[in-house]
Structure 1
Amino acid sequence: MENSLVVAVAQLNCVVGDISGNARRILEAVSRAQAAGADVVLTPELALCGYPPEDLLLRPAFLDACAAELAALATRVHGVAVLVGHPLEVDGLRYNAASVIRDGRVVATYRKHRLPNYEVFDEERYFEAGTEACVFEHKGVRVGVNICADVWEAGAADVARGAGAELLLVLNASPFHMNKQQRRYEVMRERIADTGLPVVYCNLVGGQDELVFDGGSFALDRQGVLTWQGPVFAEDLTLLTFAGGAWEEQTIPAPRPLEADVYDALVLGVRDYLGKNGFPGAIIGLSGGVDSALTLAVAVDALGADRVRAVMMPSPYTAQMSLDDSREMVRRLGVRYDEIPIEPAMRTF
């Protein structure tokens, strides 16, 4: 009888610097996954500290806190293997790492090979590159580990295959841009063509400052065929069954319009920027034009009407149509609205 493995893909929204809070999120996902019958739980890149931690990595106390939280997390994991992304310090050098925790302890650790240093990434500033494979066995299946940029070039996946991996699990913090998902499929199919390994790609979701991570985790079989696609712009926990060297196929959602992706990215980015930074709400200046109308709609969808206030500041040159359109917008969306004419201030000036 072929060995089988149930992999839970935990697509989480983590918060940079909230180490204990992120550990709770991971544990909650593990508890739900284990109750549903999972053997392995896969989390996103640097899930324990959030991504990108940037200069927090230069603080020894931050790295110590991550190490302590990982050790504490391990003591609470039994009967399932959990792959957790975290920063690692060894002999004064820092690594972007992922550890396998099982039965109360860390049983294996992988150090990311490829450190992106372009566009929004500056990992060479903080991390050293790893070179070794990480392959762990669970329920008779040999599982290889890669982290994000490792699979965008040849090399790291081949090292895992050479170490005996039958399956590749990839932790990711891949930011959104338009049409990014198709490019992810293409890159992973290149790695599959090189290695013949079926893949699970677990991606971070959520907004972090100027970045938005769209989730969209997925699985591909050894022919590169898409067998599962997770939701975008939302947290998710899905169980996948690997048996007989292949994934059991699940329903694939229909492709989304590009406009829907862009709008949802804006909403998630606003919600998490204000929420993670502790802002109570937003004030939107209305002009009666389409740009401020769209901004107001994004804010209400992100925060709720009760956390948005709209202000119209008409001058002597403001057209009646602009006032009418602003009033109609706030009527439809149900937000607090103030009109503050600026003509007295203009005259005084």
Structure 2
Amino acid sequence: MPETFRLAIGQLNPIVGDIEGNAAKAVTAWQSAKEMGADMIGLPEMFITGYQTQDLVLKPAFHAAAIRRIEELATECADGPAVGIGGPWVEGGSLYNAYFVLQGGEVVARVLKHDLPNGQVFDEERLFEAGPVSGPYRIGPLRIGTPICEDAWGPDVAETLAEVGAEVLFVPNGSPYHRNKNDLRKHVMVERVIETGLPLVYLNMLGGQDDQYFDGASFALNPGGELAVQLPSSTECVGLIEIGQTEDGWRVKQGELAPLPGEWEQDYRAMVETLRDYMRKSGFSKVVLGLSGGVDSALVAVIAADALGPENVHCIMLPSEYTSRESLDDAASVANALGCKLDTVPISEPRAAVTKVLEPLFDGLAPDLTEENIQSRLRGVLLMALSNKLGEMLLTTGNKSEVAVGYATIYGDMAGGYNPIKDLYKTRVFETCRWRNVNHRPWMMGPEGEVIAPRIIDKPPSAELREDQKDEDSLPPYDQLDRILEMLVDLDLSLAEVVAEGFDEDVVRKVEGLIYTSEYKRFQSAPGTRLTKRAFWLDRRYPIVNRWRDRG
């Protein structure tokens, strides 16, 4: 009688630092796996601590508590399926990213991560030592090889495991989302199954942590690359994967093939879920934001309503003498469409008072950007006051185009605790608004239908800090600016390569200069959802003081 191995995988959402809470999730998943008749429940990489911990894991009291809790789990989960769980391990004075296998009340295997990622958002060489390649372990009839995340992104570890007797590869991950990441994961894992001739189960973590989003979308492949199981993205669940013995070796039995969303939905859900988790994990339930009547703040309001429910989104219109009637109406239309509370706090009188106080010191100096920024900073002061008084986290609303070139006021409209559109270029802001107007999903807590009027999306963008101001008075048109930024920031191309695409050299040099001189603003900006491989913060780390310019 051919044997079947039942592997449950917990696509779950831990909280960094919540060792007890994460252990409780592990026990609940183990109980579910037991009810399913599973032989083993696998949990993601570094699950007991949450991921990524950054330097928190270096604190001896922290990693000692995590290791101790895993050892206690072995006893708690003795009577039932084996448990695989990620966590830290200390041996010979070195700290490792490890994967523990618990069975019968004991730690029966311990796998140490061999390849440590040290690019993009990862800095594991700073935190951990590289372990030796660990051999497979046996659970029941099956010899399982476990490359931990990065170990499976190159051929060496998987091939070694196959050579020493592994019959299936089980890969626990903390793989953060970026646009089109699912396609990349599958492409790489198909390479592993073709090289080794072994089936592979890929388990990914779920949930938001600071700027990063772990989107789940776990899957299983058979040799040759055939997709046998696909769990849904962005859904917490325990899935059961059956691996059967055949004449050709162990093979994953055909199971659920959940459809995965397209690029626009994936990006939008990442923004919603990271905000939702950032709030939940930091202890907030309500947000406040300045709703200007422009497209950026409108989109942030919709994301917030979808993440938290409209009743938990407090919109504030802060008009000055330069605010148009159209902007007042457009802000009201968004709040009304969402069902969010909207208050109006005029700033003309406070602005006049500040100007009067500064008048003696500004005597003889012509009005300039300083006076414009006073308006933005007054708005920041008032919004932060409301945030403090009402216990509502302030959201900031600058898009990636503005963040890149510094077209934002530090201590003004940049004030806030989180920015869900920080990695979304302005041209994608427009398209995301259009997408949301015609798409609604059950996970969205905001209303269906057109929530951002087309006139808000189509009107010329303006900060409205002076008479008849338009963004294009200071910046190239956004379709041009965003392409230049994509080449300079996302693709790291040279000035000459950008000019060769047909852009004016003086414009490109101006944009390049704005990127570098705005580094100090980004250094002090709120965290925000990572959507690309070149998001500002951990993906792109530049000095604040920097005189280099491309003279090519």
Settle same-fold status: TM greater than 0.5: yes
Shift of residue 16, structure 1, vs aligned partner: 0.8
- Equivalent positions of 1:40-79 (< 5 A) are 40-77=40-77, 78-79=79-80
Partners of 1:145 and 1:135 in 2: CA distance: 7
Query: Within 5 Å, which residues of 2 pair with 1:203-242?
Result: 203-242=204-243
CA distance in 2, matches of 1:177, 1:64: 32
SS in 2 for 1:310: strand
Among residues 310, 314, 319, which one is paired with 1:314 in the alignment? 319
Q: Distance in 1 between matches of 2:72 and 2:60?
A: 18
Q: Larger % of strand: which?
A: 1
Q: What do residues 203-251 of structure 1 show as CA deviations (whole Å, max 9, x unaligned)?
A: 0111111111111111101121111111112211110111121111123
2:483: which partner in 1? none
Over aligned residues, Cα RMSD in angstroms?
1.2
Q: 2:340 aligns with which of 308, 313, 335?
A: 335
- What pairs with 1:227-266 in structure 2 (closer than 5 Å)? 227-244=228-245, 245-266=250-271
- Of 266, 278, 298, 2:303 maps to 298
1:201 aligns with 2:202: yes
2:283 maps to 1:278: yes
Which of 165-174 and 276-285 deviates more? 276-285
Aligned equivalents of 1:79, 1:254: Cα separation in 2? 32
| Conservation of the 8 A alpha-carbon contact between 1:4 and 1:139 | no
Letter in 2 for 1:337: L
Q: What is the aligned partner in structure 1 of residue 113 from structure 2? A: 112
Structure with higher RCO (Cα < 8 A, 6+ apart)? 1
- CA displacement at 1:180 relative to structure 2: 0.5
Would you say the 8 A contact 2:208–2:274 is kept in 1?
A: yes
Which amino acid letter does the alignment assign opposite residue 339 of structure 2?
Answer: G
Q: Is the 8 A contact 1:219 1:228 kept in 2?
A: yes
Q: Is the 8 A contact 1:171 1:202 kept in 2?
A: yes
Aligned AA (1:85): G
Runs of 4 or more consecutive aligned structure 1 residues displaced over 2 Å after TM superposition:
346-349
- Letter of the 2:275 counterpart: V
SS in structure 1 of the partner of residue 125 of structure 2: helix
Deviation track 1:298-330 (CA, whole Å, cap 9, x = no partner) reads 111111223221100111221222111211211
Counterparts of 1:153-164 in structure 2, within 5 Å, are 153-164=154-165
Match status 1:8 vs 2:8? yes
Secondary structure, in 3 states, of the residue corresponding to 1:216? coil
Q: What is the total number of aligned residue pairs between the two structures?
A: 349
Residues 243-269 of structure 1, C-alpha deviation per residue, up to 9 Å, x if partnerless?
121111123233422110000000111
Is this contact kept in 2: 1:7–1:239, CA < 8 A? yes
Distance (Å, rounded) in 2 between the aligned partners of 1:251 and 1:136: 27
SS at match of 1:279: coil
Aligned equivalent of 2:98: 97
**Bigger mean CA offset, 193-202 vs 331-340:** 331-340
Q: Secondary structure at the match of 2:146?
A: strand
In the TM superposition, what is the alpha-carbon distance from 1:336 to its structure 2 partner?
A: 1.8
| 1:13-24 map, 5 Å | 13-24=13-24
| Cα shift readout 1:131-165 (whole Å, capped 9, x = no counterpart) | 13231222211111110000111111112112211
Contact 1:109 1:134 in 2 (8 A): no
Amino acid at match of 2:40: V
Q: Is 2:285–2:308's contact at 8 Å kept on the other side of the alignment? A: no
Of 16-25 and 306-315, more deviation after overlay is shown by 306-315
Task: Look up the SS of the partner of 2:120 in the other structure.
Answer: coil
TM-score under structure 1 normalisation? Answer: 0.97
In 2, Cα distance between equivalents of 1:123 and 1:113:
11
Identify the range of structure 1 (127-136 vs 290-299) with the bigger mean alpha-carbon deviation: 127-136
Q: Secondary structure at the match of 2:288?
A: strand
C-alpha distance in 2 between matches for 1:116 and 1:296: 36
Cα distance in structure 2, aligned partners of 1:323 and 1:34: 58
Using the TM superposition, name which of 307-316 and 273-282 deviates more. Answer: 273-282
Q: What residue identity is the alignment partner of 2:326?
A: M
Unaligned runs of 5+ in 1: none
TM-score, normalization by structure 2 = 0.62
Return the alpha-carbon distance in structure 2 between the equivalents of residues 250 and 197 of structure 1.
18
Secondary structure at 1:62's aligned position in 2? helix
In structure 2, the residue corresponding to 1:202 is in which secondary structure?
strand
Q: What SS does the aligned partner of 1:155 have?
A: helix
2:243 and 2:21 mapped to 1: Cα distance? Answer: 31
Q: Indicate if the aligned counterparts of 2:84 and 2:99 stay in contact, CA closer than 8 A.
A: yes
Question: Given that residues 33 and 81 in structure 2 are in contact (C-alpha distance below 8 angstroms), is that contact kept between their aligned partners in structure 1?
Answer: no
Q: 1:309 to 1:99 in 2, by over 3 A?
A: same
Q: How far apart are residue 32 of structure 1 and its match?
A: 0.9
* Unpaired segments ≥5 residues, structure 2: 356-552
> What is the deviation of 1:188?
0.5
1:168 to 1:181, Cα distance in 2 relative to 1, 3 A: same
Letter paired with 2:295: V
Amino acid at match of 1:158: E
SS, match of residue 146 in structure 1: coil
Q: Does 1:80 align with 2:81?
A: yes
Residues 299-308 or 38-47, more deviating: 299-308
Specify the code of the residue in structure 2 equivalent to 1:164: G
Shift of 1:344: 1.5
Deviations 1:83-107 (A, max 9, x none): 1000001121011000110111110
Moved more, 29-38 or 300-309: 300-309
